Amino acid sequence: MNALAATNRNFKLAARLLGLDSKLEKSLLIPFREIKVECTIPKDDGTLASFVGFRVQHDNARGPMKGGIRYHPEVDPDEVNALAQLMTWKTAVANIPYGGAKGGIGCDPGELSISELERLTRVFTQKIHDLIGVHTDVPAPDMGTNPQTMAWILDEYSKFHGYSPAVVTGKPTDLGGSLGRDAATGRGVLFATEALLHEHGKSIAGQRFVIQGFGNVGSWAAQLISENGGKVVAASDITGAVKNSKGLDIPSLLKHVKENRGVKGFHGGDPIDPSSILVEDCDILIPAALGGVINRENANDIKAKFIIEAANHPTDPEADEILAKKGVVILPDIFANSGGVTVSYFEWVQNIQGFMWDEEKVNHELKTYMTKGFKDVKAMCKTHNCDLRMGAFTLGVNRVARATVLRGWEA
Ligand SMILES: NC(=O)C1=CN([C@@H]2O[C@H](COP(=O)(O)OP(=O)(O)OC[C@H]3O[C@@H](n4cnc5c(N)ncnc54)[C@H](OP(=O)(O)O)[C@@H]3O)[C@@H](O)[C@H]2O)C=CC1
Ligand SMILES: O=C(O)CCC(=O)C(=O)O
């Protein structure tokens, strides 16, 4: 099922549980604005290359729209739409004063030089600068983008509107980025996992984890899990996968990935087929790469008892049903990976206040938000007698619906 169909399906199930009025349901589902722009740049060799960029602004009932920008060959309008909608529910689950948006450019960042990436980012920003803004729509990094990408957006935007650090989050700390933002999504995954395990009378220590994706989110999650006594028994990225049933030495793997641009060739474990990573034996599976990877083809073979969705939309609804029958507990993306956007909110607040928090305060506040988020999701599970995904969806959709009704529709 495509990402948008799957996301719409989950939204509609939640709307039904909440008994939402059908007209309100329709209004919440249709995006506020969809932007599609052509971005042509001269390549380093002088030839031209054209790319398509998207920004979908899904909803702003609770505040400025917020969400990352993805550079990946598979970026398409439906996927960006789905990811923007997920951001609306995610910011509401986290209870931060934002709506939802997402952007992307269909490109392979690994095939572009640094200067080509800079030109592409600046052209994209020129095309959307009048539709984003500190109190309108605030981009951040996602797959294939990073603090440097945010610095270029900030610089290009500022040429039109004056210096505006709060127009993006996840920027370098030298430009007003928040301490702790780089690790925030992975740290949020740790706090979310701790909250879930606590409820099952368990802790991170001694659990065996498998992590798909070893970029920003996957590598930080791995590092923090291993620092807290968890055993990462397998990890993968686009270059390959590696397994060690005694637990991978994460600091060595991080060093290897930095030096070799991937997990492939790491000697602290055995190479395995990357396509089998999700069905490796473990207690807890953390997908931290692409969407739709857990589906009806592999759901029956998954051995984990818990799945923590660090990636956005990693689990297809068909897989959800299969896994529920197997008794696998899934902590859904719109809660599990909300640590990133929560610390983005802290960054925006710091920029607006012109005051920088220390990292201890950032991490402490993040833990408070993640712990409260888990309690709020569980309360909705109890009210609606539903699983954690529907608990999170009903929580997010209900908060957005309430804000929408309060603001009204008078022209
Ligand atoms: N960054 C953030 O703050 C947030 C990110 N997310 C979500 O987390 C996920 C990961 O994002 P992020 O870590 O930022 O992105 P990165 O680009 O930093 O890392 C992505 C990782 O996934 C790997 N990868 C790509 N394709 C595959 C594949 N087919 N199989 C295995 N691994 C693959 C990449 O490998 P390689 O590097 O070799 O290409 C890389 O290790 C995404 O779904 C994103 O939307 C969610 C919330 C916030
Ligand atoms: O930090 C942000 O604003 C958004 C992060 C993001 O894109 C996500 O949570 O999926």
Q: Say which CATH topology domain 19-164 has.
A: Rossmann fold (3.40.50)
231 touches 209 (CB < 8 A): yes
Tell whether residue 344 is among the known ligand binding residues.
yes
Tell whether residue 171 is among the known ligand binding residues.
no
* Secondary structure letter of residue 68 according to DSSP: E
Letter string b/e over residues 103-132, b meaning 16 or more CB atoms within 10 A of that residue's CB: bbbbbebeebeeebbbbbbbbbbebbbeeb
Letter string b/e over residues 313-338, b meaning 16 or more CB atoms within 10 A of that residue's CB: bbbbbebbebbeeeebbbbbbbbbbb
Q: Is the CB of 182 under 6 A from ligand 1?
A: no
> One fold for both 19-164 and 183-336?
yes
Catalytic annotation, residues:
102
Which residue has the least CA distance to atom 4 on ligand 2? Answer: 67
Atom of ligand 1 nearest to the CA of 141: 1
- All structural domains of the chain with their residue ranges: 19-164, 183-336
411 pLDDT above the threshold of 80: no
Which ligand is closest to the CA of 146, given by its number?
1
Pocket test for ligand 2, best of 150, 333, 344 (most atoms within 8 A of CB): 344
Residue 13 pLDDT level (bands cut at 50, 70, 90): very high
Report pLDDT digits (tens) over 62-111.
999 999 999 999 999 999 999 999 999 999 999 999 999 999 999 999 99
- pTM (predicted TM-score): 0.98
405 pLDDT above the threshold of 80: yes
Report pLDDT digits (tens) over 302-351.
999 999 999 999 999 999 999 999 999 999 999 999 999 999 999 999 99
Which residue has the least CA distance to atom 28 on ligand 1? Answer: 238
* Cα 84 from Cα 31, distance rounded (Å): 8
CA-to-CA separations, 411 to 136, 162, 163, 407, in angstroms, rounded = 20, 32, 34, 11
Mean pLDDT of 227-244: 98
Give me 196's structure tokens: 């879930």
Which residue has the least CA distance to atom 9 on ligand 2? Answer: 341
Tell whether residue 325 is among the known ligand binding residues.
no
Lookup result for tokens 């709307």: 15
Sign of the CA dihedral 320, 322, 327, 328?
Answer: negative
CATH architecture observed for domain 183-336: 3-Layer(aba) Sandwich (3.40)
- Alpha helices by DSSP H, 134-180: 147-161
Query: From the CA of 68, how far away is ligand 2's center (Å)?
Result: 5
Mean pLDDT of 376-402: 98
What pLDDT shows up at residue 1? 84
The rounded mean pLDDT for the chain is 98
Give me 341's structure tokens: 């956007």
CB-defined site of ligand 2, < 6 Å = 66-68, 90, 140, 142, 169-170, 312, 337, 340-341, 344
Report pLDDT digits (tens) over 169-223.
999 999 999 999 999 999 999 999 999 999 999 999 999 999 999 999 999 999 9
* Secondary structure letter of residue 162 according to DSSP: S
Share of the chain above pLDDT 70, in %: 100
Distance in angstroms between the alpha carbons of the first and the last residue of the chain:
38
What pLDDT shows up at residue 410? 81
